[in-house]
Amino acid sequence: MSFVEYGDTIKDGDTAIVFLGHESMFPVKVQHGTVTQTKYGVIRHSTDLIGKKYGSKVTCSKGGWVFILHPTPELWTMNLPHRTQILYSTDISIITMMLELKPGSIVCESGTGSGSLSHALIRTVAPTGHLYTVEFHQQRAEKAREEFREHGVEHLVTVTNQDVCKNGFGVSNIADAVFLDIPSPWEAIGHAKSALKAEGGRICSFSPCIEQVQRTCLAMEEYGFTEINTLEILLRVYNVRTISLQIPDLGKEVEDNSSTGFDSSNPSHQGSPCANLQQGTVQFKSGVPLREVVGHTGYLTFATKS
C-alpha cells in the first residue's frame, strides 16, 4: 500500500480508512489478530479486512456495515492525528498550483507538523521528485518519518530535525519551490533563496496574522524576490434544503370575474387556471449557505526568485 501507488487488495500492515459516512470516518492500521470497534460493531482484521478489495462493504458484528477505502492525501487530511494545526485541501490545492509543482519537482518544506501538506506534495512530485521537509520539534520529526515509512513514501521524502531559521534546509540551489509554515518566516527567507534553483524558483509562506505577512514581504523584497502576491482562500459551503413558500393570494374569483367580464357559467371557462387557484404552499429545492462559516484561515504569500 502507498499513498502514491494504488493497491487493489488490503494487506497486513496497510493504513486503511474506515468509512461510516461523509461526516464519520477514521484511519486504522491493518494487523493480523487485531479488532476495531465501531458503532456498528466489531471489525476483525484477519477475516474482515485482509485479502479483501479496497472499497469493499464490510459487515460488522452488530449487523451494520462500513466501507474500507484506500488512503489518499485528501482522506488523510480529514483523518490524520493532529500534532499541530494543519492545512486543508482548499489551501493545499492553490499552493500546489501556484508553486507550479509537477512530477519530478524538488520541494523544500518547513515545518512538517502533522504531515497534511507533506502527503499532498509527495503525491504531486512522485515518482521522480523529492520533498525535503524540516521540523524543529524532534518528536514530531520522528513521528513524521514513521508515518512516511508506513505509508510507503519514505523514498520520496527526507525529514530533517533542525531549526530552519538558523540552519536552513540542508540543500542548495536545487529546489523548484519552497514552502514555509513557521512563526517567523522572514527569518528563513535567506535560507529559502539559497535552497532554490538559480532562477525562477517559487516560494510560498503561510501565516495567520497580517503583521507576519508584512514582515515576510519586506524580507522577500530585500532578498530580491519578485511577483510578491498575498491572497486568502475562503470556502463557502451550500446545503440543499427543501423550502416552503406560501402561494400569494391574488384575490377572489368573483372579484376577478366582475372586473374582467369573466363568466364562470360559460363552459369554455371551466378549465381556466383562475378557477383552480387555491391558496396554499409550494415546495422546491434551494441552495442555502451555512449559518456559520470560517471567517479567516490564513494568508498565502507567493513570490518568485529573480
Q: Does residue 181 or residue 244 have the better pLDDT?
A: 181
Instruction: Judge whether 22 lies within some domain.
Output: yes
What is the per-residue pLDDT for 251? 72
Would the annotation count 135 as a binding residue?
yes
Average pLDDT of the chain, as a whole number: 90
**Residue 246: per-residue pLDDT:** 86
Residues 113 and 215 in one domain: yes
> Domain check: are 100 and 176 in the same one?
yes
- Given a cut of 80, whether residue 230 has pLDDT beyond it is yes
Same domain, 150 and 60: no
Q: Which of 39, 71, 103 is the last residue of a domain?
A: 71
Radius of gyration, alpha carbons of the chain = 29
For 111-124, write each residue's pLDDT tens digit: 999 999 999 999 99
Inside any domain, residue 263 = no
Quote the domain boundaries for residue 57: 9-71
Last residue of a domain, one of 21, 42, 71: 71
pLDDT tens column, 163-196: 999 999 999 999 999 999 999 999 999 999 999 9
Same-domain pairing of 112 and 25: no
The verdict on whether residue 176 carries a ligand-binding annotation is no
Q: Write out pLDDT tens, residues 73-96.
A: 999 999 999 999 999 999 999 999
Question: Do 84 and 201 belong to one domain?
Answer: yes
Task: For residue 169, tell me if it sits in a domain.
Answer: yes
Check pLDDT > 80 for residue 278.
no
Cell of 193: 533563496
Q: Are residues 173 and 107 in the same domain?
A: yes
**Residue 116 marked ligand-binding:** yes
Number of structural domains the chain divides into = 2
The CATH number of whichever domain residue 115 belongs to comes to 3.40.50.150
- This prediction's pTM: 0.84
pLDDT level of residue 2 (50, 70, 90 thresholds): confident
Look at residues 71, 98, 115 and tell me which one is the last residue of a structural domain. Answer: 71
- Is 21 flagged in the annotation as binding? no
pLDDT for 255 beyond 70: no
Same domain? 91 vs 175:
yes
CB-count exposure of residue 166 (10 Å: 0-12, 13-18, 19+):
exposed
| Residue 163 labeled ligand binder | yes
Q: Does a structural domain hold residue 246? A: no
Residue 267 in any domain: the answer is no
Mean pLDDT of 202-227: 97
User: Does one domain contain both 169 and 29?
Assistant: no
Confidence of residue 244 (pLDDT cuts 50, 70, 90): confident
Looking at residue 241, what is its pLDDT?
87
Q: What is the pLDDT of residue 282?
A: 87
Domain co-membership, 154 together with 301: yes
pLDDT confidence of 12, banded at 50, 70, 90?
very high
> What CATH number did the domain enclosing 67 receive?
3.10.330.20
| 28 within a domain of the structure (yes/no) | yes
pLDDT per residue as tens digits for the range 35-52? 999 999 999 999 999 999
- Same domain (yes/no): 29, 151: no
Span 49-59, average pLDDT: 95
Residue 253 lies in a domain: no
Q: Is 235 annotated as a binding residue?
A: no
- Verify that 136 and 213 share a domain, yes or no: yes
Decide if 146 contacts 30 (C-beta within 8 A).
Answer: no
287 lies in some domain = no
Q: Which of 56-60, 125-129, 292-296 has the lowest mean pLDDT?
A: 292-296
Residues 7/30, Cβ–Cβ less than 8 Å: no
Task: Answer yes or no: do 121 and 201 share one domain.
Answer: yes
